[in-house]
A and B are shown apart, each in its own frame.
Chain A
Amino acid sequence: MSDLLEGFLGTSVEGKKSRVPAKLDYIQSATGLFLGLFMWGHMFFVSTILISKDFMYTITKMFEGSMFLSEPKPWIVSGIVLFVFAVFIVHAMLGMRKLPITFRQYQAYKTHMGMMKHDDTTMWFTQAFTGFAMFFMGSAHLLMMAAQSDKIGPFGSSERMYGDFMWPFYLLLLLAVEFHGGIGLYRLCVKWGWFEGANAKESRKNLKKAKWAVTAFFLALGLLTLAAYVKYGYEYSHGLVDKYKPTAQVEVRFDEKVRA
Chain B
Amino acid sequence: MSRTITIRAMKYNPQSKLSKAHFAEYKLEETDGMTLFIALTKIRETLDADLSFDFVCRAGICGSCGMMVNGKPALACRTLTKNFPEGVIQLMPMPAFKLIKDLSVDTGNWMNGMSKRVESWIHTNHKPDIAKLEAPMDPKLADETFELDRCIECGICVAACGTKLMRPNFIGAVGINRVARFAMDPHDERTDEDYYELIGDDDGIFGCMSLVACEDNCPKHLPLQSKIAYMRRKLVALRDK
Query: Counting chain A CB atoms within 10 Å of each CB, which of B167, B216, B230, B233 scores highest?
Result: B216
- B186 CB–A CB distance under 8 Å: no
**In the complex where A21-B206, A22-B238, A22-B239 touch, is A16 in contact with B197 (Cβ < 8 A)?**
yes
Which one of A22, A105, A113, A115 lies within 8 Å of B68 (CB-CB)? A115
**In the complex where A19-B239, A22-B235, A121-B213 touch, is A192 in contact with B162 (Cβ < 8 A)?**
no
Complex contact A116–B213 (CB within 8 A):
yes
- Note all chain A residues with C-beta closer than 8 A to B200: 17, 19, 21-22
- Note all chain A residues with C-beta closer than 8 A to B162: 109, 112-113, 116, 121, 124
**In the complex where A22-B206, A109-B162 touch, is A190 in contact with B212 (Cβ < 8 A)?**
yes
Complex contact A108–B95 (CB within 8 A):
yes
A100 to B162, CA, bound (A): 11
Contact residues on A (Cβ < 8 Å of other chain), bracket: 35 or more
A112 to B160, CA, bound (A): 8
- B226 CB–A CB distance under 8 Å: yes
**In the complex where A19-B239, A98-B209, A112-B165 touch, is A193 in contact with B233 (Cβ < 8 A)?**
yes
Complex contact A118–B166 (CB within 8 A):
no
**In the complex where A26-B236, A105-B166 touch, is A196 in contact with B226 (Cβ < 8 A)?**
yes
- A24 CB–B CB distance under 8 Å: yes
A108 to B95, CA, bound (A): 9
Residues of A participating in the B interface, judged by any CB pair closer than 8 Å: 16-19, 21-26, 97-98, 100, 105, 108-109, 112-118, 120-121, 124, 187, 190-193, 196, 200-201, 204
Q: List 15 A-B contacts (CB under 8 A).
A: A19-B238, A22-B200, A24-B206, A25-B232, A98-B209, A112-B95, A112-B162, A112-B165, A116-B162, A118-B211, A118-B213, A118-B216, A120-B213, A121-B211, A190-B229
- The 5 A-B pairs of least Cβ separation, nearest first, read A193-B229, A115-B71, A191-B210, A105-B166, A25-B206
